[in-house]
Structure 1
């Protein structure tokens, strides 16, 4: 076994072991404080609600451990057992060239998704249904799967052809062109997704509450935010989880509220949530995230160029077909990104604190504190997360820390 292959296998297994360890810590933290909520939540979260949140966290961690082990097993199986025979099988029907390379990636993606599908079913119709979140019907689940597969084929097959053609046509500089194209696609998707893709899965209707809409538009004008509209998403058709977000770029920006969130929160809380989202806009967080993504894409394309140039397939005893090399590179990237998640989460959490501070500067801390408390209660988010687990898996600071920061700012 080559050094590179051994390093990749080690990274996959080490990442899986770390994931299992962190999820065990999260389960222990939830169980340890299951009987009563933290003192600061004693008046807003009942002991019964807190116990239910702890039970949900433990059940989710149990399922997540299964997902981690399955991910590692599938990754190792592809590299050590399946990728070579799959390539040989496809080569019996497709001549070596661009189409064979694309076929390898597509076949791996399809089989990989089917192998992970059972756990997705367990999550939706087992875990989420058990705790009263799931509203998805089997037909809706299958329809979403079919739509997602169709979109993947429509978007990514042409991209794969373009990638492999560029690598063959210009072996020294294709990766720079690929990087530029990927960034352009990233920017285009910020426009295409909210207006074209998202409506394929959910219904978006203009906000009808005239009084709330007037207050929102006043806030938008105050912040200098030009919106493409205020929309309500029919999230309740699939889940009772609540959320809000804004998407798009430039004049295509949309502000979206889950209908579940609008039903459970007061007008003041909703406005505080909107102010938080506008804080991301005011502090340039969306632009920062795009630059971060572009940085990762640059590194990724440079690494892929090196993999093509050095013949990464040979390190695993496999043909140096571009499709095989791409699959190996993506498989190796997953544990690396996992190990880097504390850094990306740190940047994300810092942005969330800044957005919370912006919301507080407009409405004070009370509406945001109330909104965060309700979101935690309604989504069964644990109030006693393990710190090390949160470091790797929380892109947002835990609600107790966010609330403490808001209240500390008041006392200061």
Structure 2
């Protein structure tokens, strides 16, 4: 059984890696082939230089993703069949035991992954983003953010990991269900405290100033029956020139946040239309659906891990001669993306369907024309390609291609 599982893992690994590389290469070729002409439906809205900038930005990011995909694949093999986890087990097992051993194993893998990712993050931010005019982050701010993220990860992650490992040991064969209950409660707690306790550690959130924009937004919220704990502007320009808007929190702790870069670019009616789209996600219960789906998927994964945790072939087949709860957790969540990659189009489809529904809601409660104009500006400002490869988009894009989305909105406006 051990050798059979090893072969199954290697087959899935090879197919997934090949598919990811092939899809990215397709995307690069497709975007490059359509670089010289703006799509007809955007010819009057997007200039050729802006279209070419988006194509170049997309190609640069895609080429970079080829490198990170290969490095991630090499790290996975190194940790499993290459003996990396086995070495970490040998290193820590003579120094620690019990929960402290499990914590050391998990944090060691996270540390190795972070160290390998660091130069890629620096290149992404200070070469690719800077080359295309998006980076506004200093090197000092980058490492300040990294330090804060690491400290928060340690402060929150340590008790969470210890609790999970304890539940796995103490709750018998049904441990996976108790871990799921704990994990679900923890995620709900993070969603609740993130807006007021964590996000302000990285950005400044200022109340939206009085004026036409705030008046329009408050009227829209009243029409849609939406209550929030405030309207805030985030200093997104501190790090990037990309623009965005989002909801955060839930219950009485919901906040509506606009990037300052978004407000500086869009007219009040266009901001209203963008917010109407975001409200559409709330009113159509997309956020609740995503939470329920996330909890259902996590329950399924934990149940599956519960069936594998005592199987010797699971560990040995992945190059680990020992078995315990910490190694089971690490191995399972390292390899699960290899086997679930074929399901990616389903997740993308569900997300794109929600985007169409939110657009339709926005067209009912604001102006479809204003939303079209806002989206075109955002496509241009964020250098989002108007010509993605259809198959690559099918796997990866959470939002519909620009042409499809604009066509639906124009139909709603008629």
TM-score (norm 1): 0.97
What is the CA-CA distance between 1:338 and the residue it aligns to? 2.8
CA distance in 2, matches of 1:299, 1:88: 31
**3-state SS, counterpart of residue 358 of structure 2:** helix
Partners of 1:403 and 1:173 in 2: CA distance: 49
CA deviation string 1:312-364 (max 9, x = no partner): 32333421022111111011112234322211111111111011001111223
Preserved contact between residue 369 and residue 413 of structure 2 (Cα < 8 Å)? no
The whole-number CA distance in structure 1 between the counterparts of 2:23 and 2:98 is: 43
Task: Please give the residue correspondences for 1:19-38 in structure 2 after superposition, counting only pairs within 5 Å.
Answer: 19-38=20-39
Which one is further off, 254-263 or 196-205?
196-205
Q: 1:238 to 1:20 in 2, by over 3 A?
A: same
Aligned-partner SS, 1:182: helix
Residue 222 of structure 1 deviates from its aligned partner by: 0.9
Do residues 125 (structure 1) and 122 (structure 2) align?
no
Aligned position for 2:349: 346
Q: Which of 376, 391, 399 in structure 2 is aligned with 1:396?
A: 399
Q: Secondary structure at the match of 1:236?
A: helix
Q: Verify the 8 A CA contact 1:313 1:321 in the aligned structure 2.
A: no
Query: Could you tell me how far apart the structure 1 residues matched to 2:204 and 2:9 are?
Result: 43
Give the Å deviation of 1:159: 1.6
- SS of the residue 1:136 aligns to: coil
2:88 — aligned with what? 86
Shift of 1:377: 0.4
Map 1:353-392 → 2, pairs under 5 A: 353-392=356-395
SS at match of 1:205: strand
**CA–CA distance in structure 2, aligned partners of residues 404 and 90 of structure 1:** 58
Deviation at 1:307, TM superposition (A): 2.1
Instruction: Give the SS at the match of 2:363.
Output: helix
User: How many angstroms does 1:92 deviate by?
Assistant: 2.7
For residue 266 of structure 1, report the CA deviation from its aligned partner.
Answer: 0.7
2:245 maps to what in 1? 244
Equivalent residue number for residue 5 of structure 1: 6
What whole-Å deviation, never above 9, does each CA across 1:158-202 have from its counterpart, x for those lacking one?
122111211211221111111111111121121111111111111
2:47 is equivalent to residue 71 of structure 1: no
Q: Report how far residue 124 of structure 1 moved.
A: 0.3
Q: 2:316 aligns with which of 296, 314, 317?
A: 314
Identify which range, 151-160 or 306-315, moves more after superposition. 306-315
Q: Give the C-alpha shift of residue 112 in structure 1.
A: 1.1
Q: Structure 2: which 5+ residue stretches go unaligned?
A: none
CA distance in 1 between counterparts of 2:259 and 2:413 reads 30
Find the residue that maps to 1:45 and give its secondary structure: coil
In structure 2, distance between residues paired with 1:209 and 1:55: 39
Moved more, 75-84 or 9-18: 9-18
- SS at 1:246 equivalent: strand
The SS at the match of 2:309 is: helix
Change over 3 Å in CA distance of 1:342–1:11 after alignment to 2: same
1:158-197 alignment, distance < 5 Å: 158-197=159-198
**1:12 touches 1:75 (CA, 8 Å); kept in 2?**
no
Partners of 2:255 and 2:159 in 1: CA distance: 28
In structure 1, what is the Cα distance between the partners aligned to 2:90 and 2:194?
37
Deviation string, structure 1 residues 241-276 (Cα, Å, up to 9, x no partner): 000001111111000000000001111110000000
Which string of whole-angstrom CA distances, capped at 9 and with x for unpartnered residues, describes residues 44-99 of structure 1? 111111111111111111001111111111111110221111111122321x3221
Summarize the Cα distance change of 1:87–1:42 in structure 2 as closer, same or farther, 3 Å threshold. same
Q: Residue 264 of structure 1 aligns to a residue in which SS?
A: coil
Taking only aligned residues, the RMSD between alpha carbons, in angstroms, comes to: 1.3
Confirm or deny that 1:327 pairs with 2:341: no
Residues 229/275 of structure 1: CA separation in 2 closer, same or farther (3 Å cut): same
Supply the distance in 2 between the matched residues of 1:114 and 1:16 (Cα, whole angstroms).
22
Structure 2 contact 363–412 (Cα < 8 Å) conserved: no
Secondary structure of 1:232's counterpart equals strand
User: Do the aligned partners of 1:128 and 1:134 also contact (CA within 8 Å) in 2?
Assistant: yes
Whole-angstrom CA distance in 2 between matches of 1:315 and 1:75: 14
Alignment of 1:207-356 (within 5 A): 207-311=208-312, 312-318=314-320, 319-356=322-359
Distance 2:125 2:75 in 1: 21
Change (3 A) 1:133 1:317: closer
